[in-house]
């Protein structure tokens, strides 16, 4: 958990966000050269978002065809992008990028090694946090060996983390608020990692001391990312 009242965000969290932005900015620039398909049925509710998370999770270690077939069942069509020369960690991407959500799948040697789902919306911290925990609850149910969220370091402690953050969201008057949870478990002969992340930022520049500003509605984003790695990360 990382949040602000009158103090800056945790240094490690800021570093994590900067690194993520650099990586995905590079990816987005590359993908911008390829046209995106309009989905017939874009995800609009929690049940549909949970279904996408489930597909992203079960896709790891499967073929790209499995991923495409499962997405097709939701009437979501993805484009393909060949990895540039010199990019040895992946061979190709499958993706869709819309105004309010994006889905990525990275493939190496015919196997999906990374999936990512992100969506954005405008709402209060309280509602944004609830939406985030609805999604991360599903991720937490997959059974993990390791867990990290600020001072909490076991999956058994997660309930205390959720309770603490929920209380702080009720009282938050900051212009920004972030939540980060990290999971890991052994998967076949490798390690499966997952990061879940909520980021909320005041649309109108909320005063962190009074909670007042042009708007208390928050520009929010949530992402879930699964990665298959050779070495443990936690």
Q: List the structure tokens of 126.
A: 């309280």
pLDDT of residue 210: 54
DSSP state of 38: P
pLDDT of residue 99: 86
pLDDT at position 211: 53
Query: Dihedral of CA 108/111/113/118: which sign?
Result: positive
pLDDT exceeds 70 at position 27: no
Q: Are 159 and 116 in contact (CB under 8 A)?
A: no
pTM of the entire structure?
0.79
Q: pLDDT at residue 124 above 90?
A: no
Q: Quick one: tokens of 212?
A: 């007042």
pLDDT tier for residue 173 given thresholds of 50, 70 and 90: confident
The two counts, helices (H) then strands (E), for the chain are 5, 9
């Amino acid at each position: 958990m990382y949040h602000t009242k009158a103090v800056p965000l945790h240094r490690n969290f800021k570093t994590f966000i900067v690194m993520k932005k650099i990586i995905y900015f590079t990816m987005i620039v590359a993908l911008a050269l390829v046209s995106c398909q309009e989905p017939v049925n874009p995800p609009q509710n929690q049940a549909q978002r949970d279904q996408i998370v489930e597909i992203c999770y079960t896709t790891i270690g499967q073929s790209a065809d499995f991923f495409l077939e499962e997405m097709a069942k939701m009437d979501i069509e993805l484009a393909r992008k060949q990895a540039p020369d010199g990019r040895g960690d992946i061979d190709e991407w499958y993706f869709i990028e819309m105004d309010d959500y994006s889905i990525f799948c990275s493939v190496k040697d015919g196997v999906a090694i990374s999936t990512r789902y992100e969506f954005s919306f405008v709402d209060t911290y309280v509602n944004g946090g609830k939406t985030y925990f609805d999604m991360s609850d599903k991720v937490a149910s997959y059974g993990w060996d390791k867990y990290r969220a600020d001072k909490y370091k076991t999956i058994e402690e997660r309930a205390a983390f959720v309770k603490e953050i929920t209380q702080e969201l009720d009282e938050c008057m900051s212009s920004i608020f972030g939540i980060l949870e990290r999971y890991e478990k052994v998967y076949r002969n490798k390690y499966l990692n997952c990061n879940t992340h909520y980021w909320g930022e005041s649309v109108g520049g909320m005063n962190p001391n009074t909670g007042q500003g042009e708007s208390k509605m928050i520009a929010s984003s949530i992402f879930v990312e699964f990665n298959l790695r050779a070495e443990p990360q936690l």
